[in-house]
């Protein structure tokens, strides 16, 4: 039944009144055409596309210019898995009416399944740009991604992924496809970099990223140091090395991290993330005035960074200014509703200001997102990976 439903989503005139079929038929046999059309509709209602196919073939034989019969015949043949038979019928329908974008999409899918990737790419790409039905557009895009991946056009595949994620951001199959395409693109880029510039600072930086992702911090740090020897002014390098050192158990490494954050600001005075990290270091020393100044600058540089807002709020709370912290925490939650720490701190602010119901609600949100993030951490631990962009581990505010 599901196959028939998919087929119907591509058909263009399956259950229309016989009068419409007659109006499209040749004068030679309108009654015969109506009879075949009626039987085709009945068979499809009975979930018997195998019996409907001969009826559509009969209509096409009587009237080769009947675009509806031609298209629907191609659709049913496609969903019966008879791709070589479906292709000429779908092409004939398109020749009669070139604006049948669903039919063009299906033609591209049939061409892909029969190994004609060049024709498939052209038809799928053209249809994808013009389809209005979002479900069919997603199906077409997924097929197009497979074609581009098979031909090595990963940039084009990634562009289609980006469009589809705007349509179906929570689709499981699409998210997996995005993961595969972006992973393949990253691997291809790394390989190209290793060929073009094997001993460059960027190559060492890329190797450091990969090593850090797999938990080999020591080797990652060595590659960052090697990159800095080659190009000490390369944007981002000082900050990335500092982030690796900042959570080391070695006091010397942590002291070096502060120095590297400051060097990052020398290379780029607008490095808002370095301001945040220095603010965090100052806060750990209980130097709340310095921390407040650093976080204030970070928020000024990038008002929509949830970490900057959260860090500034934390310092203001430590300074006994919960009213000033509240709007920052609310903004942090607007930017990242899943931030367990932001919900916890806002709950604390509400409790301090006597808003107990609001405090209870925020505490519930904290518990919900804390459990969610713990599950994610378990998954990443099982894969022996660090979550992307989360080298700066979020601290439980209750600890």
Q: Residues 9-15: what's their mean pLDDT?
A: 50
pLDDT at 215: 86
pLDDT at 389: 44
| Whole-number Å distance between alpha carbons of 324 and 107 | 61
Claim to verify: residue 37 and residue 85 sit in the same structural domain? yes
> Would the pLDDT of 36 be above 80?
yes
- Please count the structural domains in the chain: 3
| Residue 376: band (very low, low, confident or very high) from pLDDT cuts 50, 70, 90 | confident
| Average pLDDT score over the chain | 88
Report CA dihedral (264, 267, 268, 273) to the nearest 10 degrees. -10
pLDDT at 375: 82
Does residue 126 belong to any structural domain of this protein? no
Radius of gyration for the chain, computed over Cα atoms and rounded to the nearest angstrom: 30
pLDDT at 249: 83
Cα 178 to Cα 134, 152, 173, 273, 343, distances in angstroms: 18, 15, 9, 28, 30
Structure tokens at 61: 């034989």
> Would the pLDDT of 210 be above 70?
yes
Q: Which residue has the higher pLDDT, 46 or 110?
A: 110
Claim to verify: residue 16 and residue 79 sit in the same structural domain? yes
pLDDT tens figures, 161-201 = 999 999 999 999 999 999 999 999 999 999 999 999 999 99
Question: Please, are residues 325 and 313 in contact by the beta-carbon 8 Å criterion?
Answer: yes
| Residue 283: band (very low, low, confident or very high) from pLDDT cuts 50, 70, 90 | very high
Minimum mean pLDDT range among 13-22, 83-92, 230-239, 297-306: 13-22
Question: Please, are residues 67 and 96 in contact by the beta-carbon 8 Å criterion?
Answer: yes
Last residue of a domain, one of 48, 71, 97: 97
pLDDT at 14: 42
Does residue 114 belong to any structural domain of this protein? no
% of the chain exceeding 90 in pLDDT: 77
pLDDT tens figures, 230-279 = 999 999 999 999 999 998 888 899 899 999 999 999 999 999 999 999 99
Claim to verify: residue 364 and residue 319 sit in the same structural domain? yes
Q: Residues 304-308: what's their mean pLDDT?
A: 96
pLDDT at 373: 86
Ramachandran category for residue 287: left, alpha or beta (phi over 0 → left; psi -120 to 50 → alpha): beta
Does residue 181 belong to any structural domain of this protein? no
Place of tokens 């006597």: 354
> Would the pLDDT of 30 be above 90?
no
Does residue 63 belong to any structural domain of this protein? yes
> Would the pLDDT of 34 be above 80?
yes
Last residue of a domain, one of 65, 97, 129: 97
Claim to verify: residue 8 and residue 81 sit in the same structural domain? yes
Q: Could you give the maximum distance between any two Cα atoms of the chain, in Å? A: 94
Does residue 277 belong to any structural domain of this protein? no
Minimum mean pLDDT range among 49-53, 316-320, 382-386, 389-393: 389-393
> Would the pLDDT of 298 be above 70?
yes
Question: By residue range, what is the domain housing residue 340?
Answer: 299-386
pLDDT tens figures, 353-369 = 999 999 999 999 999 99
Claim to verify: residue 257 and residue 315 sit in the same structural domain? no
Claim to verify: residue 318 and residue 379 sit in the same structural domain? yes
Print burial letters for 64-77: b (CB count within 10 Å at least 16), e (below 16): eebbbbbbbbbbbb
| Whole-number Å distance between alpha carbons of 197 and 181 | 24
Structure tokens at 128: 């994808």
pTM of the predicted protein model: 0.74
Claim to verify: residue 244 and residue 304 sit in the same structural domain? no
Claim to verify: residue 237 and residue 310 sit in the same structural domain? no
| Whole-number Å distance between alpha carbons of 391 and 246 | 10
> In CATH, what number is assigned to the domain containing residue 362?
1.25.40.10
> Would the pLDDT of 19 be above 60?
no
Last residue of a domain, one of 97, 112, 138: 97
pLDDT at 359: 95
pLDDT at 9: 56
Claim to verify: residue 249 and residue 303 sit in the same structural domain? no
Place of tokens 């590297």: 260
């Amino acid at each position: 039944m599901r196959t028939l439903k998919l087929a119907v989503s591509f058909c263009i005139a399956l259950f229309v009144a016989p009068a419409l079929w007659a109006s499209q038929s040749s004068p030679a046999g309108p009654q015969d055409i109506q009879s075949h059309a009626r039987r085709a509709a009945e068979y499809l209602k009975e979930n018997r596309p195998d019996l409907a196919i001969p009826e559509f073939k009969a209509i096409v034989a009587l009237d080769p210019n009947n675009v509806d019969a031609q298209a629907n015949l191609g659709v049913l043949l496609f969903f019966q898995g008879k791709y070589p038979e479906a292709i000429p019928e779908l092409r004939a329908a398109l020749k009669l009416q070139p604006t049948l974008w669903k039919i063009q999409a299906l033609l591209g899918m049939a061409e892909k399944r029969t190994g004609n990737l060049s024709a498939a790419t052209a038809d799928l790409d053209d249809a994808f740009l013009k389809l209005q039905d979002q479900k069919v557009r997603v199906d077409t895009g997924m097929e197009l991604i497979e074609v581009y991946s098979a031909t090595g056009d990963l940039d084009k595949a990634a562009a289609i992924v980006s469009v589809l994620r705007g349509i179906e951001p929570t689709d499981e199959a699409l998210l997996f496809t995005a993961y595969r395409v972006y992973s393949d693109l990253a691997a291809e880029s790394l390989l190209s970099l290793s060929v073009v510039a094997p001993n460059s600072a960027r190559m060492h930086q890329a190797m450091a990223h990969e090593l850090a992702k797999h938990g080999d911090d020591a080797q990652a740090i060595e590659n960052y140091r090697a990159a800095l020897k080659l190009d000490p002014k390369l944007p981002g390098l000082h900050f990335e090395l500092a982030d690796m050192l900042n959570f080391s158990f070695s006091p010397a490494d942590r002291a070096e991290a502060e120095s590297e954050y400051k060097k990052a600001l020398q290379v780029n005075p607008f490095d808002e993330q370095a301001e945040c990290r220095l603010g965090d270091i100052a806060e750990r020393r209980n130097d709340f005035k310095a921390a407040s100044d650093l976080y204030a600058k970070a928020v000024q540089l990038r008002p929509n960074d949830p970490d900057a807002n959260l860090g500034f709020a934390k310092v203001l709370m430590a300074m006994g200014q919960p009213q000033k912290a509240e709007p920052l925490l609310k903004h942090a939650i607007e930017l990242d509703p899943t931030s367990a720490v932001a919900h916890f701190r806002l709950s604390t602010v509400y409790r301090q200001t006597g808003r107990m119901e609001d405090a209870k609600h925020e505490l519930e949100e904290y518990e919900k997102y804390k459990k969610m993030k713990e599950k994610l951490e378990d998954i990443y631990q099982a894969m022996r990976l660090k979550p992307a962009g989360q080298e700066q581990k979020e601290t439980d505010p209750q600890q």
